[in-house]
Structure 1
Amino acid sequence: MYQTRITPAALSVETAAGFPRALDRLAEENLGAHHFLRSCWFGAGAADGETLLVHDEVGAPLIAIPTTAFGPALLGARKVPGSYWPFRSVLAARGAQAEHFAAALASPESRKLGASWRLGPVPANDPAAQLLVTGARAAGWTILTQRAGTIWTIDLDAHRDRGWPSKSTARKLRRYEARTGELGQVEWRYVRGSEWDESALEQMGSVETASWVGTQTDGSGAKFMKPHQRALWRSALSDPVLADMLCATILLIDGRAVAFTFDLDDGPVQYGIAGSYISDLRDYHVGKLTNYRAIADAIADGQSVMDMGAGDSGYKREMGAVPAYDLVDLLFVKNPLAARALRGWWERGAA
């Protein structure tokens, strides 16, 4: 661990190995909420890492920029790690200001970030990321921006107020449930907190294997299909706080998992991380039954927003989702000439 004092701001900047527990403290009071941005969230799937930590004048953590190696080792680039969704971001306590980021990114410790480092996808309106961008520019960094999609959300409060689902949708769901019941014994499994076990991860992986992701792609977009994908989430679930935030709704027929949703509850917001169903049962609408069950549970639990991630093939809109905010992928480059050379490549979507 290396430490540098910055004056006149009386901040302390250090580079800590890995993803220290100070991240958990910052996550609890993070400027942008996003309380899931904890040590195990960053560490899941990242073999090694470092964290640029900024402490205030009394030694309390103020800012954290966790990173891991990114791209060819020869380039020395780094990125903020974490699962693709909900997203990645830096951490900032409520008292953090752009000038604090500027001081940190102008300090000798910032050299450990490399000549370039990546943050994304991140909400374009994320308060911590906005302070970071402002501070980084003041410290002489160039920030290249790539659009990474538009997020769709469902207003659960509105659904709750007017009654959800609608009568016509409820009739359809009852028909789907009755038809699904003809296939065998229907069972719903709910997993959260201490209920997480290997069987839940394997059940979701078996669904992905028999879904279009497993049968029509190389499986890289799956979350649980392959051992290394399950290992990432197993690592995140080792944190009891994250285990309580992460939840799964699994539909089984005669003991066989046929559909699931995998979500993260962060205060009033539920993030839909993943969901899938067995392709052979698409005509039974098992995926729709599971999605609607997860939304009904979120409404019953008093949550306000279902954040369903980027893009929509039509099913999100059908459930009442609307475009809400944009995601961006940011590349921070120290050398202005290098930034000029990389700009077109990055902004065309090279990442």
Structure 2
Amino acid sequence: MSKPMLLEEFTRLPPALTIDCVDGLAGAIDAVAARARPSHRFLRYGWFAAALRTYGGHARTLTVAREGEPVAALPIVAAGPAWAKLAAIPGCYWPFRSFPVREDAGVEAIEALLPRLARAARALRVGPVYDGDPGLELLKEAARNRGWAVLDRFVADSFLLDIAAERAEGTWPRNSTLKKNRFHEKHLGGHGELDWSFVHGAGWDEAAFEALAGIEEKSWIAARTDGSDAKFTARGHGGFWRAAAEDPVIARMLWTALLRVDGAPAAFSFDLNAGPLKYAIANSYDPRFAKHSPGKLLYYRNLVRAIEDGIAAVDWGAGDSGYKQVIGAAKGPAIRDWLFVRPGIDALAGKLLRGAWKRTGRAETGSAPAEANRVLDAEEGDRGDEERKGSGNQTEIHGALPGS
């Protein structure tokens, strides 16, 4: 009589994976984003839809489901000339361009997706995106396993303020900093009554966006540039943020600290709160008040409120490193731009062009461009205005990306 088999003697079959490609944006995007890393849960249907509405392009979405549940969603749009069959991820630069994957997704899910991606495009551009991005890391491993060429170019260093670590070492912000801020607030009050407020969630209406746009139109970005990189004006990226805020989940993540002087908008600090992480996306102020450091006063108030709301770290992105280091930020993950080239002759050509692609970025040992390092109020370390988050190369390559 044969012995019954023990449970551990059975071979466990891998979970069944289903690959799909839909015309347009797939509803599965939200299901994946909801179970992504908290820092990436803003990568929702509404995020990509806002990009398509604002910057143009027609999307297709490749999805991977494991036993019927979506674990990865990759929206793509055509990039460059049609004959080249290049694709890119739609979206916005702030805080980065990527795609959602569930926290428990494995490399096998992305490996299963690659043959379908190879039929859709010769190469896929991902980024600019941070080193360590979960979707990027799975895609890199899967692509190399399957014979794709993987090319990268350095864009910039990011800066990260670890509030939890700062507070563990002692009082943060320091009492001396708060005392100095109160001194500046007193003198700023000489211009009129000061009103400090916050906008998020259902508070995102046209009046709120117009307040931010009005500040930008008075700032250095309007005076010294063509204004195309402003975040909230019609000439800049105002259409994207208004469209993104139509998704109530994203709207709850979007956050602005706003200063009014005698009822008129004077300064703002605009962020995206993703779990315990705050992405600092844009700051600006009316230069009439520059002497009293309104930008610094506002972002310190904003950070104190962030602590109360459970924020443990602030991702300041790239550029303007001077004020970030003054406030306590340290160099974080590098930001890179990636090309994934399908196997065969295309991958061979990609490998031959690896050096040329890398040279279009910045040297990692180089310093940031002078404009990116400028400090508008050197005495106080006040960044004043950081509307061009990721200035330098991140701004320079902006026009080259599809859907920009």
Does the TM-score normalized on the shorter chain lie above 0.5? yes
- Does structure 2 retain, via aligned residues, the 8 Å contact 1:250–1:260? yes
Alignment TM-score, normalising by the size of structure 1: 0.91
> What residue in structure 2 maps to residue 144 of structure 1?
151
- Residue type of the alignment partner of 1:89: S
Correspondence 1:78-157 to 2 at 5 A: 78-107=87-116, 110-112=118-120, 114-157=121-164
Please provide the CA RMSD for this pair. Answer: 2.0
Q: Deviations over 1:297-318 (max 9, x none)?
A: 1112121111111133311111
Does 2:24 match 1:15?
no
Task: Report how far residue 329 of structure 1 moved.
Answer: 1.0
> What residue in structure 2 maps to residue 164 of structure 1?
172
Query: Aligned pair count?
Result: 342
- Does structure 2 retain, via aligned residues, the 8 Å contact 1:27–1:33? no
Task: Report how far residue 249 of structure 1 moved.
Answer: 0.8
Q: Which moved more, 1:316-325 or 1:277-286?
A: 277-286
1:246 to 224, 229, 254: 254
Correspondence 1:302-317 to 2 at 5 A: 302-317=310-325
- Does structure 2 retain, via aligned residues, the 8 Å contact 1:258–1:278? yes
What is the CA–CA distance in structure 1 between the aligned matches of 2:51 and 2:72, rounded to whole Å?
Answer: 22
What is the CA–CA distance in structure 2 between the aligned matches of 1:169 and 1:94, rounded to whole Å?
Answer: 39
- Does structure 1 retain, via aligned residues, the 8 Å contact 2:162–2:312? yes
- Does structure 1 retain, via aligned residues, the 8 Å contact 2:188–2:289? no
Check 1:228–1:17 CA distance in 2 against 1; reply closer, same or farther (3 A cut).
farther
What is the CA–CA distance in structure 2 between the aligned matches of 1:296 and 1:125, rounded to whole Å?
Answer: 28
Task: Report how far residue 343 of structure 1 moved.
Answer: 2.0
1:186 to 190, 194, 198: 194
Identity of aligned residues (%): 40
Q: Secondary structure at the match of 2:161?
A: strand
What is the CA–CA distance in structure 1 between the aligned matches of 2:331 and 2:321, rounded to whole Å?
Answer: 13
Correspondence 1:10-89 to 2 at 5 A: 10-31=16-37, 33-46=39-52, 47=56, 48-56=58-66, 58-89=67-98
What is the CA–CA distance in structure 2 between the aligned matches of 1:173 and 1:88, rounded to whole Å?
Answer: 35
Check 1:342–1:208 CA distance in 2 against 1; reply closer, same or farther (3 A cut).
farther
Check 1:257–1:31 CA distance in 2 against 1; reply closer, same or farther (3 A cut).
closer
- Does structure 2 retain, via aligned residues, the 8 Å contact 1:103–1:139? no
Task: Report how far residue 281 of structure 1 moved.
Answer: 2.3
Task: Report how far residue 233 of structure 1 moved.
Answer: 0.7
Check 1:214–1:74 CA distance in 2 against 1; reply closer, same or farther (3 A cut).
farther
Which structure has the bigger radius of gyration? 2
2:204 to 193, 196, 208: 196
> What residue in structure 1 maps to residue 223 of structure 2?
215
> What residue in structure 2 maps to residue 3 of structure 1?
none
> What residue in structure 1 maps to residue 349 of structure 2?
338
Task: Report how far residue 39 of structure 1 moved.
Answer: 0.9
> What residue in structure 2 maps to residue 282 of structure 1?
290
What is the CA–CA distance in structure 1 between the aligned matches of 2:104 and 2:171, rounded to whole Å?
Answer: 40
What is the CA–CA distance in structure 2 between the aligned matches of 1:204 and 1:140, rounded to whole Å?
Answer: 47
What is the CA–CA distance in structure 2 between the aligned matches of 1:31 and 1:199, rounded to whole Å?
Answer: 32
Check 1:317–1:11 CA distance in 2 against 1; reply closer, same or farther (3 A cut).
same
Q: Higher strand share goes to which structure?
A: 1
Check 1:304–1:168 CA distance in 2 against 1; reply closer, same or farther (3 A cut).
same
Structure 1 stretches lacking a partner, 5+ long: 1-6
What is the CA–CA distance in structure 2 between the aligned matches of 1:16 and 1:278, rounded to whole Å?
Answer: 46
What is the CA–CA distance in structure 2 between the aligned matches of 1:165 and 1:8, rounded to whole Å?
Answer: 51
Q: Which moved more, 1:37-46 or 1:242-251?
A: 37-46
Task: Report how far residue 74 of structure 1 moved.
Answer: 4.2
Task: Report how far residue 270 of structure 1 moved.
Answer: 0.7
Structure 2 stretches lacking a partner, 5+ long: 1-12, 362-396, 398-404
Alignment TM-score, normalising by the size of structure 2: 0.80
- Residue type of the alignment partner of 1:337: L
Q: Deviations over 1:42-90 (max 9, x none)?
A: 221223211111112x211022111122233443322112110211222
